[in-house]
Amino acid sequence: MPKKNILILGRNGQLASSLGRTKTIAGHHVISIGRPIIDLARPETIEKAIRDIKPALVINAAAYTAVDKAECEQDIATAVNANGVGRLGQFCAHNDIPTIHISTDYVFDGQANTPYQPGDPIAPQGVYGRSKAEGETRLRSANEQHLIFRTAWVYSEHGNNFLKTMMRLGQDNDQIRVVNDQMGTPTYAGDFALGLLKISAKVLTSPRDIAWGTYHLTNSGQTSWFGFAKEIFGCFAKFQACTPKIIPITTKEYPTPVARPAYSVLDCSTTSANFGIELPAWENATMRCIKNIEGRER
Ligand SMILES: NC(=O)c1ccc[n+]([C@@H]2O[C@H](COP(=O)([O-])OP(=O)(O)OC[C@H]3O[C@@H](n4cnc5c(N)ncnc54)[C@H](OP(=O)(O)O)[C@@H]3O)[C@@H](O)[C@H]2O)c1
């Protein structure tokens, strides 16, 4: 079979850079492109890239992700996450290219107390969540060959994320107060990327066997931000003599411009059933990420 190109949108983001570390998928060549060459807010750049690269598969790991800032930047959040994704789906459909797209737990209202199924009703609470939900809808109607993977609480060795924030705060503070009444599943970008690459290989090798649609993909298990912080510093204690005391607080004690979902756990069983992919326990992933950070800094 002749080698084709796989196009990954996004270059420096947490997921995009984890995905972009791989050079081939099922023998096909991976090309990661970010702004300004492809800007989701400028659909002509998407169209040109697809025309030039002629990919066999597009994976969109780019998005407007500033949850709080989105409240006063609705136009740009919508342009990128809704319109841009819709146009990407149209260009892909026009060229018979499957689109894999990443979405978020923020499409739900966070009021559940059992894990969300992919088919559960959505009710996004803020501009970011609404823009991502609209992007899902537009992709579904633009390109039948789509896979949407919602994930949650993403972190990695680089970028802005909870684990990096805890590391930074831990350097200057004896105590850190962390919210204990929001539940979710910390998801290591490295694990998510590996899962997505295996799924991508299936799309490329046996597209007729793919059940197109919407899925969930996170590490396994669940915890609160407080539980995640305890685990982070428990792992760090293996490398550092002193770690801060973690104090549980409520959401009311840590207000944010956009309310965070109280419950974000996503049921990933249809991903496991359809693709045979199950990501490791979140505790195990946290340890591996911290080992990578420590290994790099020593
Ligand atoms: N982070 C989380 O906790 C989380 C949770 C659930 C779902 N997700 C979803 O997972 C996906 C990846 O998130 P992430 O954490 O990897 O995000 P991230 O680290 O914030 O990276 C976002 C990427 O999108 C790119 N981007 C932003 N605006 C763009 C535009 N107009 N055109 C093209 N690229 C643009 C950024 O490019 P630059 O490098 O040029 O800035 C960056 O590479 C997103 O779809 C997000 O909604 C994330």
212 falls within a domain = yes
Give the residue whose CA is nearest to atom 5 of ligand 1: 152
Q: Residue 263 Cα, ligand 1 centroid: separation in angstroms?
A: 22
Q: How many domains does the chain have?
A: 1
In-domain check, residue 152:
yes
Q: What is the mean pLDDT of residues 164-173?
A: 93
Please report whether residue 237 resides in a domain: no
> For residue 23, what are the domain limits?
5-159+186-221+266-280
Cβ atoms of 278 and 220 closer than 8 Å: yes
The pLDDT value given to residue 1:
62
Domain contains 291: no
Ligand 1 pocket check for 285: Cβ under 6 Å: no
Helix segments in the chain, DSSP class H: 14-20, 43-53, 74-78, 85-94, 127-142, 162-172, 189-205, 225-236, 269-275, 282-297
26 backbone φψ class: left, alpha, beta (φ>0; ψ -120 to 50)? left
Please report whether residue 197 resides in a domain. Answer: yes
Alpha-carbon span 129 to 242, nearest angstrom: 38
The best mutation among 11, 44, 154, 279 to test binding of ligand 1, ranked by most ligand atoms within 8 Å of the C-beta, falls on 154
Examine residue 232 and state whether it is found in any structural domain, yes or no.
no
Q: Which atom of ligand 1 is nearest to the CA of 60?
A: 45
pTM (2 decimals)?
0.97
- Specify the CATH number for the domain of residue 64: 3.40.50.720
Q: Over 80: is that where the pLDDT of 241 sits?
A: no
Q: Is residue 141 part of a domain?
A: yes
The 3-state DSSP class for residue 125 equals coil
How far away, in angstroms, is 15 Cα from ligand 1 center?
7
Any catalytic annotation for residue 128? yes
Residue 134 lies in a domain: yes
Under the banding of pLDDT at 50, 70 and 90, the label for residue 239 is: confident
CA distance 294 to 297: 5
Give the pLDDT of residue 44.
97
Which residue's CA is the nearest one to ligand 1's atom 8? 104
Contacts of 60 (CB under 8 A, 6+ apart): 9, 10, 85, 88, 99, 100, 101, 102
58 neighbors 25 (Cβ within 8 angstroms): no
For 64, 141, 190, 280, the CA distances from 18, given in Å and listed in that order, are 18, 28, 6, 16
| Residue 150, helix vs strand vs coil | strand
